[in-house]
Structure 1
Amino acid sequence: MTTSSGSQATPSRVLGTADAVTVGAAAMIGAGVFAVFAPAAEEAGAWLWVALLIAAVVAYCNATSSARLAARHPESGGTYVYGRERLGELWGYLAGWAFTVGKAASCAAMALTFGAYVAPELARPLAVAAVVALTAVNYRGLRTSAGLARVLLAAVLAVLAAVAAVGLLGSEANPAQLAVSGHWPGFFGLLGAAGMLFFAFAGYARIATLGGEVRDPATTIPRAIGIALAGVFVVYLVVAAAALTVLGRDGLAESSAPLADTVAAAGWPELVPVVAAGAALASLGALLALILGVSRTVAAMASDGHLPRSLAATHERFGGPHRAEAAVGAVVCLIVLVSDLRGAIGFSAFGVLVYYTITNASALRLGPRENRPPLLVPVVGLAGCLVLAFTLPLSSVVSGAAVIAAGAAVWALRRLVLDRRG
């Protein structure tokens, strides 16, 4: 089963392996790497490395399931398509709904992070400006978007390399800080930290949701996801090690800007503005990739009638779902104006984990002739997503579950109306 049942618009297949890796890595190496290690260290303490490993294992399982499904269903839409084809219309719809609302909140969080780093007193206007500008870039097609993502990713990696160099090679480095020892944080502390760290890896889904615009998707998507995930994991290990060797676990846990504090404590305070600039660029790179992914899922849902069908239209010149891109940009601007950063991140977290739960459940339905992953992979991925989802703060679980339930109610009402008409 390799085709969808929908009437999805046919976009241009313009992304090769290098471009797909760039989009996925840019989505993963976002603003989170500049901040996530501090709250994770506060939760996990000396067990930070174990939390990072748990997050990486769950991400690997999700990535493998996503890659195998994307190879069988090379369309834009990601798990919306996989759930629909493998589990039924409701599950595909719920995956698309969870991804759309969750990642729209992520877009707002990245935009607000950009504004906060550039000029905190003007954070919201700058966030809106960033969303408008990047929506305009995406409107012109994936070639333009991938080119900008490559530039942003290169700049951010250069900043992270500088942080790693001064942290690991400086006179203040203390390798003994890397030892896993000390107070056991409890399962909720360990898994809560893993949940935070997991979202730093979640950008590989952008490669799968762009499946309809990838050349030779059966080969390119699995390869690009594997390369992007492995590369980002190495980057996170090195950066976390640099921060820990200089700040120690307690200093890292108490830091509000851990990478900036790392270079300052290592004796390079002149690099603090550079790190801030890197965080701002990382926010833009993640926001660019997020808008791409959300707009493609919106277009796929619109082509099946779950959203206004006009949103599925493909631009004749640029080849992308231009109406969906404009609609997503408008919604994100609205969220930026009415929400705060912490609330947006927590809400997004729950939605993303629901999305990947359905991804792994869909992978369990692959047949032996469909290059299905070993059974343990989707089982661990599904269980890991559920556990991490319900170790999030209670407010995030309640609000996320309420929105998912509202989406299910909308679907049920639509089915009722269609059945009565039929």
Structure 2
Amino acid sequence: MTTSSPQAGPSRVLGTVDAVAIGAGAMLGAGVFSVFAPAAEGAGAWLPVAILIAGLVAYCNAVSCARLAARHPESGGAYVYGRERLGDLWGYLAGWSFVVGKLASCAAMALTFAAYVLPGWERPVAAAAVVAMTAVGYRGVRRSTAVVKVLLAAVLAVLAGVVVAMLASGRLAAVAEVDGLGPWPGSFGVLGAAGMVFFAFAGYARVATLGGEVRDPATTIPRAIALSLGGVLLIYLVVGTGTLIVLGRERLINSTAPLVDVVRVAGLDWAAPVVAAGAAVACLGALITLLMGVTRTTAAMAADGHLPRVLARLGGRHGVPVYAEALIAAIVVGLVLFTDLAGAISFSAFGVLVYYAIANASALRLGPDEPRPPLPVPLGGLVGCVVLACSLPLGAVAVGAAVLAVGAALWWVRDRLSARAGE
């Protein structure tokens, strides 16, 4: 029987290895298998530069989040930071951006998984994946993290195999043959590509949203973010640059499964199904961590009264926010049934960038007696997030701004009703 208690709290069960696995598992999702094709269309031969720009912005965001998490070791991430450092509205907008953006991201991961597993049946398979990963999350964060570790190990093995295929193709030794990539694409082309690549990086600070479940958060969170981000940046540079060289720009931008095409160019057709399976596994690993993060932010907002308080109740033997998990799963299932992958990715990127912009602004408010990062870090992260958000397709920016306005209006109505009730 499910029980709930307002006195219950999440258990601090995650160590450094667990936290690194959550961060890396979130980053090594569908993005590494799909993002390089659209990014190469905008950046061309400058794709590695776009990856580095995205990684630099991610690093600034990660440092800001790590310092804030050390000062505010609670579940909720930038929702908590914005509330404590900038005011209730900004914290609410951070949480709102995170939740709506990550709902779209969950749908994107589920749809990508389904496209690899059973083409033609994407929507029902994606819905089934969401339900299954929610069930895993219900077993508690420790068991969920164990699954993430297994999935991450499988994905790393597949990516290592792809790199071997790149070397076997012989094209890495003939970089000069990669021509026709076009001249400097302009700042907007590179920044647009960086914005898309940033979507693939977006899980680096996922552990910050689980601050209430991490042992020794002041030490574990900064270390885990740095290790997971640094390792994944290296992987993206190797895989992205290698894919560009092996396939060339034109074939890469027209490829729906670039890493599968890489092994085929190397003459390893038998490995194509293995790479496809690795893509599916990566999506599951990212999906489960996404569901964990958005559920806990939803629960944190509900505990503060910004969402129905029932969503904050913890239940079951594992002390998870069961009502929030059920609601999030239902919304994501609805999204995978009625939206498309491209729209989900664009909207998710906008929401994530707004979320981290507020996190960096919060870090700027840390005092001299607190773990304040050097000024260029949060300032660079804030500016970088704004620039990359504006580089996204106009439709995504317009819809994202409209959703933010709706969120702000809901906060204003609640604030006015609370003020009247207190009179």
State the TM-score, normalizing by the size of structure 1. Answer: 0.96
**CA spacing shift, 1:289–1:302, aligned 2, 3 Å:** same
Q: Is the 8 Å Cα contact of residues 93 and 407 (structure 2) preserved in structure 1?
A: yes
Listed one character per residue, the Cα deviations across residues 260-295 of structure 1 (whole Å, up to 9, x for unaligned) are: 111101111111111111111111111000000000
Name the CA distance, whole Å, in 2 between partners of 1:405 and 1:355: 14
Deviation above 4 Å: which 4+ runs of structure 1?
177-182
Q: Which residue of 1 aligns with 2:3?
A: none
Q: CA deviation at 1:110?
A: 0.5
Name the CA distance, whole Å, in 1 between partners of 2:219 and 2:59: 18
SS at match of 1:200: helix
Letter in 2 for 1:144: R
**CA spacing shift, 1:187–1:8, aligned 2, 3 Å:** farther
Letter in 2 for 1:101: V
Unaligned runs of 5+ in 1: 1-6
Q: Which residue of 1 aligns with 2:44?
A: 45
Q: CA deviation at 1:176?
A: 3.1
Q: Is the 8 Å Cα contact of residues 176 and 245 (structure 1) preserved in structure 2?
A: no
Q: Is the 8 Å Cα contact of residues 172 and 265 (structure 1) preserved in structure 2?
A: no
Q: Which residue of 2 aligns with 1:16?
A: 15
Q: Is the 8 Å Cα contact of residues 70 and 221 (structure 1) preserved in structure 2?
A: yes
Q: Is the 8 Å Cα contact of residues 23 and 289 (structure 1) preserved in structure 2?
A: yes
Q: CA deviation at 1:195?
A: 0.3
For structure 1, which segment, 113-122 or 26-35, has the greater mean C-alpha deviation from structure 2 after superposition? 113-122
Q: Which residue of 1 aligns with 2:341?
A: 341
Q: Which residue of 1 aligns with 2:122?
A: 123
Letter in 2 for 1:335: L
Name the CA distance, whole Å, in 1 between partners of 2:299 and 2:27: 23
Q: Which residue of 1 aligns with 2:75?
A: 76
- Alignment map for 1:205-216 (pairs within 5 Å): 205-216=205-216
- Alignment map for 1:163-178 (pairs within 5 Å): 163-173=162-172, 174-176=174-176
For structure 1, which segment, 242-251 or 83-92, has the greater mean C-alpha deviation from structure 2 after superposition? 242-251
Alignment length (residue pairs): 416
Q: Is the 8 Å Cα contact of residues 168 and 245 (structure 1) preserved in structure 2?
A: no
Q: Which residue of 1 aligns with 2:294?
A: 294
Q: Which residue of 2 aligns with 1:96?
A: 95
Q: CA deviation at 1:177?
A: 5.8
Name the CA distance, whole Å, in 2 between partners of 1:114 and 1:91: 34
Alignment identity in percent? 67
Letter in 2 for 1:243: T
Q: Which residue of 2 aligns with 1:4?
A: none
For structure 1, which segment, 136-145 or 246-255, has the greater mean C-alpha deviation from structure 2 after superposition? 246-255
Listed one character per residue, the Cα deviations across residues 330-386 of structure 1 (whole Å, up to 9, x for unaligned) are: 111111111111111111111111101000000000111211110000001000000
Q: Is the 8 Å Cα contact of residues 177 and 249 (structure 1) preserved in structure 2?
A: no
Q: CA deviation at 1:10?
A: 2.2
Name the CA distance, whole Å, in 1 between partners of 2:252 and 2:327: 39
Q: Which residue of 1 aligns with 2:232?
A: 232
- Alignment map for 1:220-299 (pairs within 5 Å): 220-299=220-299
Name the CA distance, whole Å, in 2 between partners of 1:163 and 1:124: 28
Listed one character per residue, the Cα deviations across residues 125-168 of structure 1 (whole Å, up to 9, x for unaligned) are: 11111000110110110111000000111111111000011102
Listed one character per residue, the Cα deviations across residues 229-279 of structure 1 (whole Å, up to 9, x for unaligned) are: 001011111111321231123322222211111110111111111111111
Q: Which residue of 2 aligns with 1:87?
A: 86
Q: Is the 8 Å Cα contact of residues 8 and 312 (structure 1) preserved in structure 2?
A: no
Name the CA distance, whole Å, in 2 between partners of 1:311 and 1:95: 18
The CA RMSD measured in Å over matched residues stands at 1.5
Name the CA distance, whole Å, in 1 between partners of 2:59 and 2:52: 10
Name the CA distance, whole Å, in 2 between partners of 1:89 and 1:408: 11
Q: Is the 8 Å Cα contact of residues 70 and 371 (structure 2) preserved in structure 1?
A: no
Q: Which residue of 2 aligns with 1:369?
A: 369
State the TM-score, normalizing by the size of structure 2. Answer: 0.96
Q: CA deviation at 1:181?
A: 8.0
Listed one character per residue, the Cα deviations across residues 102-132 of structure 1 (whole Å, up to 9, x for unaligned) are: 0001001111111111112211111111000
**CA spacing shift, 1:118–1:145, aligned 2, 3 Å:** same
Structure 1 position 132 matched with structure 2 position 122? no
Unaligned runs of 5+ in 2: 1-5
Q: Is the 8 Å Cα contact of residues 75 and 211 (structure 2) preserved in structure 1?
A: yes
Q: CA deviation at 1:77?
A: 0.5
